[in-house]
Copies of this chain bind each other. A is one copy, B any other.
Amino acid sequence: MKLAEAKQQFISSWGAFGTQWGINRTMAQIHALLLVSAQPITQDEMMEELSISRGNVNMNIRELIGWGLVDRVIIAGERKEYFTAEKDIWKVATKIIKERKKRELDPMIKLLSQLEHIEGDKKDKEVQQFTQVVGSIKKLGLQADKTLDVMIKAEENWFTGSILKMLK
């Protein structure tokens, strides 16, 4: 397979993969394009490469910057802005985990804490069931939170597999 074809397929599949995980297709594609570009590229190049509008590129680029996955790059003597992606996949994974934890897991745990204690007859099966489910989801959430923290701190160890040995 030739580079151009492989790139195309990587970008399009990465987009499809992203949608399954609640990530906007274009955002994932821009990220993929930046990942496989050896040099920083401009918004115009992204428009061209992905056949999308200027506005779309701009909005998704700033979103990616917000996730800490992409950086603006100033090239001396150039008027245009260039963009580049973090290329270390471990760091990419770490940033995504951190960010989703902050945006989703933490608020979820907060909500469950609020729902955990409800008024009413403790003998009521429905009350028991509710309390039990909310409590155990919260417990799972807290555990996931801690485990992810350890993984984040462990850095490349997880990536390279040395943590796996500890789990065996």
Give me the interface of A with B, judged by CB distance under 8 Å: 1-3, 6-7, 9-10, 13, 17, 19-22, 35-39, 87, 89-90, 93, 104, 108, 111, 114-115, 117-120, 124-130, 132-134, 136-137, 139-140, 143, 146-147, 150-151, 154, 158-161, 163-164, 166-168
Contact = CB atoms under 8 A, between A and B. Distances in A.
Contacts of A35: 133
Contact of A104 (B17, B119, B160): B17
Nearest to A167: B150
A147 B158 contact: yes
A44 to B, nearest CB: 19
Copies of this chain assembled into the complex: 2
A38 B124 CA distance: 10
A134 B22 contact: no
A92 to B, nearest CB: 9
A51 to B, nearest CB: 20
B19 A140 contact: no
B130 A36 contact: yes
B164 A166 contact: no
A4 B159 CA distance: 45
Contacts of A143: 158-161, 164
Contacts of A87: 129, 132-133
Given A17-B108, A104-B20, A1 B118 contact: yes
Contacts of A38: 125-126, 128-129
